[in-house]
Amino acid sequence: MTEHTLTVAGVAVDPRHWIGGERVASAGTFTDVSPIDGRALGEIARGTPAEAAAAVAAAKAAFPAWAATPRAERARILHAIADGVEKRLEELAIVETTDNGALLRSHRRGVMPRVAHNFRFFADWSLTLDHEDFETRGHTNHVSWDPAGPCVLITPWNAPLMLATWKIAPALAAGNTVVLKPAEWSPLTASLLADIAAEAGLPAGVLNVVQGYGSEIGDALTSHPDVRRISFTGSVPTARRIAASAAPHLTPLSLELGGKSPLLVFADADLDLAVDLAVEQYDNAGQVCLAATRILVEETVAEEFTRRFVAKAGALVQGDPREEATDIGPTIHPRQLDRIDGFVRRAVEAGARAVIGGHRVDERSYAPTLLTEVAQDSEIVQEEVFGPVLTLQTFADEDEAVRLADDTRFGLAATLVTGDRERADRVTGRLTAGTVWVNCFFVRDLKAPFGGSRHSGVGREGGTWSFDFYCDLKNTVTAPKGWNDHG
């Protein structure tokens, strides 16, 4: 432990940047505050363009040796990082809960195990990358995945470490080096990951972490001529700024953006299942990009669905996310709480009715809310709230259901509940979404492509799709003659 170290929930965390295998301070800092109780957790190094440039330089310097490291050795180190995550799983879980307010039980049982799995999956998948050679008029074509270079990864606050490693793991497995810029509202586990990676033997400069405000260091990272890939998860407005910054150098982008996903409930559905899936959308206090926040119910069962939904949602326990019994924790930040409340107030003023919720619980939390009597073109139906706020609309038939479902600028995900397999096939074929769940929700496999359509994003991640982004694909064509054979 050093003079710089913070103690967060009994865990030592270094608040400085991690650049070139060393801790680096900044002249300025920003205060990291826990959403659980508003307590200041400590002062975090506030990066400037100078630290951003130093991190890119470190990544550039480390790239040739890491790119030349055999895949199997890179995979071994990624598995060692996964071992380190599992060894410190409890520490990572409690620090992240303290930092972003998500449920401790979820971090212990699902999120942090998934962090380790991210490293193991992409380490192993990198060893399978192969394309069968093929012939063209007697010439041999050989496809290869070449590391692209330094990558800038910008990640959100709602699932900080899981979403960061969803990008870091394939980037490193591909042979690239990384500069990670975590969200300023939840930076702590990124710092712990830097320690874990170093202990696992990841060479200096291969992973760098720069903390701070995007408005102050974002452009220095995304406009840098030595950056070869940029991956961002967050809002559409920020994505536009990143794209403009990257454009002069034509730096390839992967963008996973917002959503306003529908949950379609047909009259032939198992209503208990439909209600369970709908109430699940309040997970992480509604701070989930994939959340199906627009519930669309066939009008003949809407009244019964609503009755069961209100009963189920009413049993949710809102409180301290460290308590096992808690179902919904606090909102990440007072600014986000104000944003959520503003959306609901404007919706009610425009004629919406709050069946449940519609108000703050206290200065840190918002009540699970269901709004009815909302117009399709209203703000509350069209714009992402990112809080525990759902809307309910009805439809008469499949055509209307699909029309309502697709009538936003987003296309991240959709959920469909029906007892008719043929209907499921018809409707899913007509929906615009990167992921469609039928009679389930949030079942994800890293082998599957993930991403959004329209304003929900650009590109796909997962399996080989991740390596297609983080690599330069090369096709080598070899003639059958011209060799000086002496054998």
- Give the pLDDT confidence of 44-100 residue by residue, as tens digits: 999 999 999 999 999 999 999 999 999 999 999 999 999 999 999 999 999 999 999
Structure confidence at residue 439 (pLDDT)? 98
- The answer to whether residue 482 is domain-embedded is no
- The answer to whether residue 204 is domain-embedded is yes
Spatial distance between the Cα atoms of 258 and 261, rounded to a whole number of angstroms? 9
* Same-domain status, 26 and 152: yes
* Same-domain status, 380 and 459: no
Structure confidence at residue 1 (pLDDT)? 46
* Same-domain status, 249 and 268: no
Band (pLDDT 50/70/90 cuts) for residue 3 is: low
Contact 345, 366 (CB under 8 A): no
* Same-domain status, 221 and 314: no
Out of 91, 96, 184, 256, pick the active-site residue: 256
Band (pLDDT 50/70/90 cuts) for residue 486 is: low
* Same-domain status, 240 and 192: yes
In the chain, what is the straight-line distance between the N-terminal and C-terminal CA atoms, in Å? 64
* Same-domain status, 230 and 288: no
CATH number at residue 372: 3.40.309.10
- The answer to whether residue 446 is domain-embedded is no
Its domain, for residue 227, covers 6-257+452-475
* Same-domain status, 356 and 426: yes
Would you say residue 2 has pLDDT above 70?
no
What's the whole-model pTM score? 0.95
Number of domains in the chain: 2
* Same-domain status, 109 and 127: yes
- The answer to whether residue 143 is domain-embedded is yes
Give the residue carrying structure tokens 């990358």. Answer: 129
Q: For strand 253-256 and strand 29-33, is the pairing parallel, antiparallel, or unpaired?
A: unpaired
Structure confidence at residue 484 (pLDDT)? 85
* Same-domain status, 211 and 229: yes
CATH number at residue 202: 3.40.605.10
- Report pLDDT digits (tens) over 359-400: 999 999 999 999 999 999 999 999 999 999 999 999 999 999
* Same-domain status, 239 and 218: yes
- The answer to whether residue 219 is domain-embedded is yes
Locate the DSSP E strands across 200-246.
207-209, 229-233
* Same-domain status, 253 and 268: no
Out of 51, 289, 298, 384, pick the active-site residue: 289
Told to judge if 289 belongs to the known catalytic residues of this protein, a careful annotator would answer: yes
* Same-domain status, 247 and 390: no
Locate the DSSP E strands across 148-227.
151-154, 178-181, 207-209
Closest by CA position to 2, among listed 191, 181, 186: 191
Told to judge if 471 belongs to the known catalytic residues of this protein, a careful annotator would answer: no
- The answer to whether residue 29 is domain-embedded is yes
